[in-house]
Amino acid sequence: MLRKIQEYINNFHLRKQITALLSFVFVGGILVCGLALAIILNQNAQAQIIAEAEVAFKTIMAVRSYTNLNPSNMRDKAVEIFIYADFGFGR
C-alpha cells in the first residue's frame, strides 16, 4: 500500500509535488491555529465566568451579612414602603 502511494507521488511532476506539499502545510497550519484559538477562547471564557461568579457570590454574602446584622431596619423599611405605597399616606 505504501509502495503504491510512493509510486503515485513519484509519478507527479515537480510542480504538482510542490503544490501538494504546500497545500498540506497550509491545511495543517489552519488546523493547528484553529485548535490553539479554540483552547485559548475556552480558557478565557472559563476565567470570565469564574470572575463573574465570584462577584455575584460576594454580593450575595454582603446582602446576607447586612440583613443578618440589621433585620429591624429591613423590616421597618419594608413596612414603611408597604404602608406608604399601598394606602397613599404622605410622608
Task: Tell me how crowded residue 40 is: count the other CB atoms within 10 A of its CB.
Answer: 10
Confidence band for 53, pLDDT divided at 50, 70 and 90: very high
Average pLDDT over residues 37-45: 97
Q: Please tell me the pTM assigned to this model.
A: 0.53
Please state the domain extents for the chain: 2-87
Query: Which ranges constitute the DSSP H helices of 1-70?
Result: 2-10, 14-69
